[in-house]
Structure 1
Amino acid sequence: MNKKLENEVVADAETAASSGKRQRSNRILWIAGPLAVALVAGYFYITSGRYTSTDNAYVQADQVTIAPQISGLVVEVAVRENQAVRKGDLLFRIDPEPLQIAVDQMQAQIEAAGDYLNASRDTYRSASADLRASEATLRNHEAQLQRIRELRAKGIVAQKVLDDADNDVATARGTRDADAATLAKSRTMLGGAVNTPLDKLSGYKVAKAQLAKANLDLSHAEVRAPIDGTVGKMHLQPGDYLTIGQAAMPLVAHSVWVEGNFKETDLTNVRVGQSAEIVVDTYPGRKWPATVSSISPASGSQFSILPAQNATGNWVKIVQRIPVRFEIAQTSADGLVLRAGMSADVKIDTGKEHSPLGRWTSSAGSKEEVAMSR
């Protein structure tokens, strides 16, 4: 009986101790719970207004559409889809044979220009000799005409002889004028002087420019990467015929940035140069430090093909979004690579002065300065 009573006493004591512990635990929870909630709420209140964020953000990159500057048949494709290339790497090659023929043709024309110059100089000399001869003939006929006129005045010769002399002078004068025109033409073809150098002739300059154009077209037969990047989706194969400006493949640059589309009401305190933090959906938990690089001069709707016409019809106010560009300090680390089009979350630190605590401290400081100034 004593043993049983002893056991009951021990059980009652344990129950009382357990009840006391539960009561103390409940008191702690009643105190710590509201305190934790108050601390969290206080933190968010104190820091509210300092940070602005959006999940409407995406990784962006420059994209170049590779297109040939000449038309031709593709004979070689040196890259494949999703291949990384460096600036100057060969992408594809267009058949150079027709272009080489054009270069050879223009080279031959330049060589012919030298022969043409020599021929023009010979023509000039010949025209000069013909002009001198025709002028001598004209002077002779004019002297003969003068003598016949004197004889006709004395009645020694017939009128027909005088008429023939007049006709000879007119014919000689016409020959002289034709030879003078031929000489002038020869001088013009030589650039105004018989000793004009070859490289000063207009015909030679035209041929030289055409040769440079042909060489430029030949160099464009090899299409090379204009920037460092990665080849996008492409279907180019040897045997395809490309025209000037026809899209052959996209090239996405390695340098990337993030574009966040913020509500206009969230940009009150956002300025260029403020620090930001970026989290990409592909790599949860990984944060990229960034900086506000620029803010768009207009909302995204202003750049649409058909912008909203708010002055017509029924109007409903819609909060607009303004694109903000962020420069990332390090775009790849620990094997994590940012690619264009990835979704991201962006948070901008506008500065503690924009939080309630910062406004309160700045207000208190300004009041103190005013009091001291008084």
Structure 2
Amino acid sequence: MNEENKSSETANQGQKRRNTILTVLSFVFIAIGGIWILSLFFDFHRYETTNNAQVESYINSVTARVSGHIESIHFEANQFVHKGDTLVVLDDEEYRIKVKQAEADLAVAEGNLHSLEQNIITATSNEAASKNKLAGDRADLDKAEKDYQRFRNMYADSAVTRNQYDQVISKLESTKAYLKAGEKELLASGSMAKQSYTNLEAARATVARKKADLDNALLQLSYTRIIALADGYVGERTISVGELINANQVVATLVLNQKLWVTANFKETQIEKIKQGQEVTITIDALGDKEFKGKVSGFSPATGAKFSMVEPDNSTGNFVKITQRIPVKIDFEATAKELENVKPGMNVTVEIKK
């Protein structure tokens, strides 16, 4: 009986000891939880935080400016390329033929221009000759009029015969006729010279247009070589040799890593406490929660919903008030070397100290 009492007493003491330990542990866990909750409370008061944020970068779509079959491809997926590197070469035979046609049209236009320039020289010479001939005809007319006056007086005094007097009259009339013909010839040669100058201007305009056509043909030919317009990493390769490419079709996508930033979507109720230039702690999920420093550089002029493809219509009456998000741009304060493992699209957590 005594042994049973002792055993029961020992069991009761063990149970009390366990209960005491459990009680102490419970108080410890409650205290730790309370401290954690208080720390979160004070952190929330000192920081504005969101995990609705991603790394952003400029993405350049490389498009074809002319159509044609792909002759060769000079890049692979995820490859780094430099500005000016050739990415795709299109079959250019059709565009070379168009260049030759434009060159031939230009040669014809320049030939016509040279011919008109020669015509102007001829017309100018003819006009000058007509002026000189007209001056001679006027001198002949002046002499013929003087002879007529003299012979008329002599004929009145019977100093010359009728036949001689008639010859002087005939000479006067023929000289007048030659003068009128010379005036008309000068008018005609002047008109031809003016027309030649007009045609010359039209020919020069034609040459200028043909030169522009040639420049355009050469430009179209240059577009058969599609190049990278900036340094960056090529995305997925979705084209193959022999494929027909149409104008404005995307042949590659370049991710430009020269400039990275974070777009953090804060609640509209948080924006009041965020100012431009505030320091930011950026934690990147994919890099083992590695932290980077940044600064607030700008705010979106509208909420994210306003920029969505289908904006919600609250005028239908089925209205549920939802806290809106406002995108905030945050610039990294890190070198390109430090950001080499940071990729656009990575999820981040942002903390902004108030």
Query: Is TM (by shorter chain) over 0.5?
Result: yes
The answer as to 2:294 corresponding to 1:276 is no
CA RMSD in angstroms comes to 4.2
Number of the residue aligned with 1:265? 269
Matches within 5 A, 1:36-47: 36-47=32-43
Number of the residue aligned with 2:84? 88
Offset, 1:92: 0.9
After superposition, the Cα gap between the structure-2 partners of 1:232 and 1:62, relative to the gap in structure 1 and judged at 3 Å, is: farther
Number of the residue aligned with 2:155? none
Number of the residue aligned with 1:296? 300
Number of the residue aligned with 2:229? 226
After superposition, the Cα gap between the structure-2 partners of 1:149 and 1:203, relative to the gap in structure 1 and judged at 3 Å, is: same
After superposition, the Cα gap between the structure-2 partners of 1:73 and 1:269, relative to the gap in structure 1 and judged at 3 Å, is: same
Offset, 1:268: 1.9
Letter in 1 for 2:282: E
CA distance in 1, matches of 2:33, 2:289: 27
The answer as to 2:189 corresponding to 1:179 is yes
Contact kept? 1:84, 1:230, Cα under 8 Å: yes
Contact kept? 2:64, 2:245, Cα under 8 Å: no
The answer as to 2:93 corresponding to 1:97 is yes
The answer as to 2:212 corresponding to 1:216 is no
The answer as to 2:326 corresponding to 1:322 is yes
Letter in 1 for 2:181: T
SS of aligned partner of 1:261: strand
CA distance in 1, matches of 2:132, 2:340: 95
Contact kept? 1:53, 1:345, Cα under 8 Å: no
SS of aligned partner of 2:273: coil
After superposition, the Cα gap between the structure-2 partners of 1:57 and 1:70, relative to the gap in structure 1 and judged at 3 Å, is: same
CA distance in 2, matches of 1:164, 1:288: 112
Offset, 1:333: 7.9
Contact kept? 1:152, 1:162, Cα under 8 Å: yes
After superposition, the Cα gap between the structure-2 partners of 1:87 and 1:323, relative to the gap in structure 1 and judged at 3 Å, is: same
CA distance in 1, matches of 2:39, 2:192: 100
Matches within 5 A, 1:142-221: 142-149=138-145, 154=152, 156=166, 165-183=175-193, 210-221=213-224
Unaligned 5+ segments in structure 2 are: 153-164
The count of residues paired between Structure 1 and Structure 2 equals 332
CA distance in 2, matches of 1:295, 1:241: 40
After superposition, the Cα gap between the structure-2 partners of 1:130 and 1:30, relative to the gap in structure 1 and judged at 3 Å, is: closer
The answer as to 2:249 corresponding to 1:246 is yes
Letter in 1 for 2:249: Q
After superposition, the Cα gap between the structure-2 partners of 1:141 and 1:246, relative to the gap in structure 1 and judged at 3 Å, is: farther
The answer as to 2:342 corresponding to 1:346 is no
Offset, 1:218: 3.0
Residue of structure 2 aligned with 1:29, choices 3, 20, 25 = 25
Offset, 1:266: 1.9
Offset, 1:275: 0.8
Number of the residue aligned with 2:126? 130
Letter in 2 for 1:277: I
Offset, 1:75: 2.3
SS of aligned partner of 1:134: helix
Offset, 1:224: 0.9
Number of the residue aligned with 2:60? 64
Number of the residue aligned with 2:160? none
Offset, 1:142: 2.6
CA distance in 2, matches of 1:241, 1:15: 87
CA distance in 2, matches of 1:167, 1:87: 80
Matches within 5 A, 1:303-318: 303-304=307-308, 307=311, 312=315, 314=317, 317-318=321-322
Number of the residue aligned with 2:157? none
CA distance in 2, matches of 1:222, 1:270: 48
